[in-house]
Amino acid sequence: MLSLLPGRASAQSELTVLNWPDYLDDDLVEAFEREHGVSLNLIYYETDDDRDALLVEAEGRGYDVVLVNGSNLASYVRRGWLEPLDTAVLSQLQHIDPRWRAAYQAAETHGVPYLWGTLGIAYRRDLVGTEPHSWMDLFEPEEALRGRIVMVNTARVSVAMALKALGHSANSTEPAALDAAERLLMAQRPWVKAYGYVDITEESALLTGEVAAAIMYSGDALALEEQNPEVRYTVPMEGGELWVDYWTVLSASPNKSLAWAFIDFMTRPENAARTTVTFNYPSPNRAAEPLLPREILDNPAIYPDADTLRRSEVLVPLPPRVTRRVQDIHQRVLREPGA
């Protein structure tokens, strides 16, 4: 374990963080590096599946801090990859809303919530005939959307939202429900331009109009809305995915003390508030909320109302046989011709 003086680390120290791209405030990165006299080595993954593949290939080594979606925490713990929380060091943990600390299996013992939010539909208000209110508006779309929809390229999420559209739980394991979700996804295929994720740069296909609707995370959709007010975001009436991202420390990390210091730094209320302002995702940090502007706290696309939260679901781990079935459905959809 790396020995640290309070607030400082060796000038030669480097902390390797595995994270989504554009998901850390640059000023906070610089502030942490100055405060601790270290360098952050930021490595990125594009999907949850990519992150899993990187960690499998490295056998849970090579990184210090990893941002993990809640539904993967328990499997990472079973593999022996994650260090239990060092609550003696995590002085800011007291500010985290217990709902998000315990939202997933193993979360309370191995992860510190970073941000949470919803997954729903982003769309161009000026390009759709009828604004979507149901998942069926995306899965059984109007003709104007043919070839202009982007679906996520993640088996678990794609099938889960198809299940929601059909009135089932996103976590259903019933064979008949999964069969129906597969039929729905297959029928939707001619309307889908791509399976991936719409970027949030000024060249975004949702901004150029090449794409009219897409499954997106709330904060990303709001980033596009800031560039074009015709972009809108909605959580369909059936509810969407409710997710939490967690900071974790790998058991194989040689820099555990510095890793916990980084997580504690990011959990300070003022830093948590800055993160929410930067990325338009709600903070799990209750002490950060009084520091946020009213336009963020009152925006239902950022802080959903109680009814939206009630209708939405976290994605829980599935039995292995169901996971294989979900992956098989997704691969069949990807192989299906688009027209």
| Of the options 3.40.50.300, 3.40.190.10, 3.40.1110.10, 3.10.450.50, the CATH number for the domain spanning 117-241+308-335 | 3.40.190.10
Decide if 56 contacts 7 (C-beta within 8 A): no
Residue 151 pLDDT exceeds 70: yes
Per-residue burial over 254-281, b = 16 or more CB atoms within 10 Å of its CB, e = otherwise: ebbbbbbbbbbbbbbbebbbbbbebbbb
CB atoms within 10 A of CB 27: 11
Domain 14-116+243-304 CATH assignment equals 3.40.718.10: no
pLDDT of 339 above 60? no
* Residue 315: other Cβ atoms inside 10 A: 19
Q: Give the DSSP H or E segment for 138.
A: helix 136-139
DSSP at 134: S
Tell me how far apart the alpha carbons of residues 299 and 293 are, in angstroms, rounded to a whole number.
10
Instruction: Kindly tell me if the per-residue pLDDT of 1 is higher than 90.
Output: no
Share the mean pLDDT of the chain.
93
The pLDDT of residue 8 is above 90: no
CA distance 167 to 200: 31
Write phi, then psi, for 82 (nearest 5 degrees).
-105, 140
Inform me whether the pLDDT recorded for 179 exceeds 90: yes
Asked if the model's pLDDT at residue 14 lies above 50, the reply is yes
Give mean pLDDT, residues 108-133: 96
Q: What is the pLDDT of residues 125-144, one digit of tens each?
A: 999 989 999 999 999 999 99
Residue 29 has pLDDT above 50, yes or no: yes
Mean pLDDT for the stretch of residues 16-38: 96
pLDDT digits over 243-253, tens only? 999 999 999 99
Task: Taking residues 174-202, report their average pLDDT.
Answer: 96
Confidence band of 34 (pLDDT split at 50, 70, 90): very high
> What would the pLDDT profile of 324-333 be if each residue is shown by its tens digit?
999 999 999 9
What DSSP state is assigned to residue 302? T
- Classify burial at 36, counting beta carbons within 10 Å of its beta carbon; exposed 0-12, middle 13-18, buried 19 or more: buried
Global pTM reads: 0.88
Q: Give the Cα separation of 52 and 56 in Å (integer).
A: 6
- In whole angstroms, give the CA distance from residue 276 to residue 274: 5
Write out the residue limits of the CATH 3.40.190.10 domain(s) in the chain. Answer: 14-116+243-304, 117-241+308-335
Helix (H, G, I), strand (E, B) or coil at 125: coil
